[in-house]
């Protein structure tokens, strides 16, 4: 008999021929499988391809019921795995920045901008910015620019990209081999002393939303715009922000700051930035929640809204189950539903399919069935097993 978590994993390996339970209730950044829902997948992918292919910045809203897959979509489309798929399809030179964050929850009213700015910059990383600058430097030197003249040439180039000319002083410091503590403090918006500011060659740090968006816009230009005949390093900056429904729980001040930050972001970075905002809602709520949360100034900037609808056909549900099981499959099986059977899968899905299944609810009952199968020491979760254990499997399903 098997006991404990390691024993359950071993049981799944040997009896169910899967390396893990694929029916996660809470999405993980490590889950890189997209199961079925091909129409939704194409909608999001086509949006990404359009953003890469055209220069205007865009605001996209993803919305739908809780458990509909929006958080998983953020994790999937900001993963290295998805980027590799895109590079395989469109060429290895394609690259883009992927930022996936959750809506900050300020513990101190009025700190939303600082938290949001830090999360975005921390996801982009100062190392990526440095890589772009050193790439430009190498190109200039190959074109015959003397090493001592490269810094001056780049400083002139960066100055032309920003209204705050002195920011070019900080960027050119990234030509050095290692990123210093002063540069990190500046880029991440930390408080700086007068001496530290003087050492960086600037008069003030990043103290306001305008400062944050000015340096962000400059970084976007450095990453996404060509330098002379050197193509851009990044095709687009993608920023996903999850859990925007929580805006209604924030202070009025932080909600106002959030709206202002996003609205003005597109003024400072009008090219090569795409922002996805995820909204989850309860039954009975609709797109009016998005409108009330964002306000008119942002609503008018929405380029596209993508609704995450329940799975409403049996075949789509079956394909969803098959692909999740295939993702964790570690052995040869004759039945793609193993350790389930097609009949037991259909029995678990029942008549709810007519009303629509949310991925989270599908995952709940199939995860429960796998666990009960383990504890009851069965090798196949067939229709008889489902009938005998349906009260355990479906208890407290909400």
DSSP symbols for 167-209: HHHHHHGGGSSS--HHHHHHHTT----HHHHHHHT-S--S-SH
Residue ranges of the alpha helices (H) in 201-251?
A: 209-224
The band of 354, judged by pLDDT with boundaries at 50, 70 and 90, is confident
Residue 277: pLDDT over 50: yes
Rounded mean pLDDT of the chain?
94
CA–CA gap between residue 63 and residue 299 (Å, rounded)? 14
Q: What is the mean pLDDT of residues 362-391?
A: 95
Inter-residue contact 273 to 55 (CB < 8 Å): no
Collapsed DSSP state (helix, strand, coil) of residue 70? helix
Q: pLDDT band at 156, cuts 50/70/90? A: very high
Average pLDDT score over residue span 221-234: 96
Rounded Cα gap, residues 75 and 82, in angstroms = 10
Mean pLDDT over 185-189 rounds to 96
**Which pair of structure tokens corresponds to residue 225?**
């715009």
For the residues 1-25, what does the mean pLDDT come to? 82
Judge whether 371 and 7 are in contact, CB under 8 Å.
no
pLDDT band at 6 (very low <50, low <70, confident <90, very high): low
Tell me, what's the pLDDT at 396?
Answer: 66
Lowest-pLDDT choice from 138-142, 209-213, 353-357? 353-357
Is the pLDDT at 131 greater than 50? The verdict is yes
Interval 191-215 mean pLDDT: 96
pLDDT digits (tens, 9 = 90+) for 31-50: 678 988 999 999 999 999 99
Q: Which residue has the higher pLDDT, 105 or 176?
A: 105
Percent of the chain with pLDDT over 90: 90
Residue 397: predicted pLDDT = 53
Per-residue DSSP letters for 359-380? HHHHHHHHHHHHHHHHHTT-S-
Amino acid 27: pLDDT: 79
Assess contact for 237 and 272: CB atoms under 8 A: yes
Residues 129, 126: Cα–Cα separation, whole Å: 5
Which residue reads 């340096």 in tokens? 215
Per-residue pLDDT, 35: 87
Region 348-356 average pLDDT: 85
Q: What is the mean pLDDT of residues 360-365?
A: 94
Place of tokens 């001056």: 152
Residue 59, H or E segment:
strand 58-65
pLDDT tier for residue 3 given thresholds of 50, 70 and 90? very low
Comparing 186 with 6, the larger pLDDT belongs to: 186
List, for residues 234-256, the tens digit of each pLDDT value: 999 999 999 999 999 999 999 99
Per-residue pLDDT averaged across 378-397, rounded? 90
Angle, alpha carbons 35-39-41 (nearest 5°): 55
Please report the DSSP string for 264-311 in residue order: HHHHH--BSEEEEEEEEE-TT--THHHHHHH-HHHHTTEEEEEEEPPB
pTM of structure? 0.93
C-alpha gyration radius of the chain: 25
The pLDDT of 254-283, averaged and rounded, is 97
């Amino acid at each position: 008999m098997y006991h404990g978590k390691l024993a359950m994993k071993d049981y799944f390996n040997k009896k169910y021929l899967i390396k893990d339970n694929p029916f996660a209730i809470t999405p993980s950044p490590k889950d890189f499988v997209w199961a079925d829902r091909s129409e939704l997948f194409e909608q999001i992918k086509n949006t990404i391809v359009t953003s890469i292919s055209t220069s205007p910045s865009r605001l996209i809203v993803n919305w739908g019921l809780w458990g509909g897959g929006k958080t998983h979509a953020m994790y999937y489309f900001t993963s290295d795995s998805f980027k590799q798929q895109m590079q395989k399809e469109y060429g290895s030179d394609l690259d883009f920045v992927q930022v996936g964050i959750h809506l900050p929850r300020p513990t101190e009213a009025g700190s939303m901008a600082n938290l949001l700015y830090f999360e975005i910059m921390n996801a982009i990383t100062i190392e990526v910015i440095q890589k772009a600058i050193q790439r430009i430097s190498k190109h200039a030197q190959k074109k015959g620019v003397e090493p001592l003249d490269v810094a001056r040439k780049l400083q002139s180039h960066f100055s032309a990209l920003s209204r705050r000319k002195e920011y070019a002083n900080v960027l050119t410091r990234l030509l050095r081999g290692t990123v210093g503590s002063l540069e990190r403090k500046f880029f991440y918006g930390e408080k700086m002393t007068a001496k530290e500011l003087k050492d960086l060659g600037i008069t003030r740090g990043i103290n306001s939303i305008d400062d944050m968006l000015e340096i962000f816009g400059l970084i976007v230009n450095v990453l996404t715009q060509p330098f002379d005949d050197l193509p851009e390093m990044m095709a687009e900056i993608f920023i996903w922000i999850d859990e925007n429904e929580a805006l209604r729980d924030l202070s009025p001040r932080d909600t106002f700051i959030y709206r202002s930050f996003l609205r003005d972001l597109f003024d400072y970075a009008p090219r090569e930035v795409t922002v996805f905002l995820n909204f989850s809602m309860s039954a009975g709520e609709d797109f009016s929640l998005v409108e009330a949360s964002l306000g008119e100034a942002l609503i008018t900037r929405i380029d596209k809204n993508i609704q995450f609808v329940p799975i409403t056909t049996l075949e789509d549900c079956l394909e969803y189950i098959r692909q999740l099981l295939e993702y964790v499959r570690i052995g040869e099986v004759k039945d793609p539903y193993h350790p389930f059977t097609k009949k037991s899968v259909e029995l678990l899905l029942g008549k709810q399919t007519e009303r629509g299944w949310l991925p989270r609810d599908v995952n709940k009952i199939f995860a429960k069935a796998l666990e009960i199968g383990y504890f009851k020491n069965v090798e196949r979760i067939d229709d008889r097993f489902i009938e005998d254990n349906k009260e355990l499997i479906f208890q407290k399903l909400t």
